[in-house]
Amino acid sequence: MAASKEASISQGPAPEILEIGELKRSLNVPDSIYQGILAAENWKPGRQVSQAEFEAAIKRFCGSPVMVKRKVKKNA
């Protein structure tokens, strides 16, 4: 009975879930970044996520060492 009480307690509005292709278009994400996110997150086209989750995936991908330009020592 305690579990049913906890389940009925509202946690606020649920985040809107959208298809990642729609989020790509609405946020003007370039194709190269979009394809990189799909590969990095192991997502398939058609997946549905919240906008916050998609934006977090963009930050993770764009902040990865591959995307950040760093100086490389010669003869390293």
* Predicted confidence band of residue 14 (pLDDT cuts 50, 70, 90): confident
Q: Where are the domains of the chain?
A: 15-76
Amino acid of residue 41: E
Is the model's pLDDT at 5 over the cut of 80? no
pLDDT digits (tens, 9 = 90+) for 21-41: 999 999 999 999 999 999 999
Residues constituting the chain:
76
- Helix, strand, coil percentages (3-state) for the chain, rounded to 5, are 50, 10, 45
Residues 59/36, Cβ–Cβ less than 8 Å: no
- Note the pLDDT of residue 49: 95
The gap between the terminal CA atoms of the chain, to the nearest Å, is 64
Please state whether 19 falls in left (phi above 0), alpha (psi between -120 and 50) or beta. Answer: beta
Q: Residue 63: its pLDDT value, please? A: 84
> Any idea which residue has 């919240």 for tokens?
50
